[in-house]
Amino acid sequence: MILVFGLGRSGLGVLRFLRARGLAARFYDDHPKEPDVRTALALGFAPDFGLEGRYTQVVAAPGVPLDHPHLKRLREEGAEVLGEVELAYRLSKTPILGVTGTAGKTSTTLFTAHLLRGQGIRALEGGNVDPPLVSVVDEAEVAVAELSSFQLERVSTFRPRVAVLLNLGVDHLDRHGSLEAYHAAKLNLLKNLTPEDALVYNAQDAKVRQAAEKSPARLYPFQPAEDPRESNLRAALAATQAYLDLLGRPLDEEALRESLRTLPHAPHRFQTFARKGKVVFIDDSIATRTPAVAAALRAAPAPIAWILGGEDKGADLAPLRPLLSRVRVILALGRDGPRMAEALGGGAEVVVIGEKDGYKAMRQAVAEALARLEQGSVLLAPLAASFDQFKDYKDRAQAFREAVFDLGGEPWTPSSS
């Protein structure tokens, strides 16, 4: 019997995947949400909220840490704990192209799938980017999977046909406990590669290069660019070429030129979406790491009202302090926002948003920002995970956008700047 541990996007995707195969399972969630439970029941699965059953396999959602006490007990009782990526690999014959790294995963995944489709290959993206990998793997000719460290820490036999390793920086120290453990999870992407597989890697990242040169896979190094989007495109071009080489197919140059003209844009990545008078609103909800937030603080029009906070992932604050001269006010929300704002120091005013409800907190933050700015920008670049107040970074972005339009913001277009 299989237990699906954790519902939400990943868990419900796993239940649909199992149902399509006629496999029996039950489900459990620490904090079950009524709509998710209704969906799971409608799919024909029963709950086990008391964890009274005996299970051979437990498919745990990425948000559930491996050291969760219930998972520990289930392992002691003989269950194998795995994630949706390992499950998809074992139960589907579709080849998987896996993309990981500290930065750039989503854009590289979207670009790669887009370029492969332009070459006439039915490529579908999923994984850490919507939808879950299990929701696309059966429909695709090749599944292009964005893979987080949370997903990769629970793989064992998983072997992508093409692995893409973008970079190894600092992130998720709150979850993994150390930089070494975080990097080890990322490098699980490479551990089962063979000479029949391909590895695309960043030739300028010393840790990445060292790991790649130990791999038996066919190597496809790429040189990153100063512009992150261009770097991600270079990785995607190398991944596309690598997969075509595995198929023994030439690159269609004309189709590639057309694909490059229509590249997709990843949502919630430094998007100016609204304005009110001379104040613009910028959604960078995905900016949870120091380099991304630093880039946002440099690019946003000053003076800036900076919305900061959530669940701190162990962010390095030092590189941000020189940029505080561009910040008029820090709106500190969520579990760790006030502490992070205090640790930053500097001359910017700090307003603590004490409201616990995420949507109400965001509305209060936007109102406080507008009370202090006559021009400049309101920037959501939280430097923290969203799960204390929101479902995910997209839900956080939605709360921001709703607050902006409720408080008089108007849609922004390039012609309105």
* Whole-number Å distance between alpha carbons of 263 and 114: 7
384 labelled ligand-binding? no
Type of residue numbered 83? G
Is residue 103 part of an annotated ligand binding site? Answer: yes
Q: How far apart are CA 404 and CA 276, in angstroms?
A: 9
Three-class HEC string of 162-212: EEEECCCCCCCHHHHCCHHHHHHHHHCCCCCCCCCCEEEEECCCHHHHHHH
Please tell me whether 106 is known to bind a ligand. Answer: yes
Closest to 208 measured CA to CA, from 197, 228, 194, 222:
222
Question: Rounded to an integer, what distance in angstroms lies between the CA atom of residue 96 and that of residue 118?
Answer: 18
Q: Give me the DSSP letters along 207-239.
A: HHHHHHHT--SEEEEE---SSHHHHHHHHHHHH
Is 107 annotated as a binding-site member? yes
248 is known to lie in a ligand binding site: no
> Rounded to the nearest 10 degrees, how much is the dihedral formed by the CA atoms of 79, 84, 90, 91?
110
Instruction: Give the H/E segment covering residue 407.
Output: none
Where b means 16+ CB within 10 Å and e means fewer, 64-85 reads: bebeeeebeebeeeebebbbbb
**Nearest CA-CA partner of 154 in 114, 184, 111:** 184
Contact 145, 126 (CB under 8 A): yes
Q: What are the structure tokens assigned to 377, written together?
A: 């920008």
Three-state DSSP class for residue 330: strand
Query: Which residues define the annotated binding site for ATP?
Result: 101-107
Residue numbers belonging to the annotated binding site:
101-107
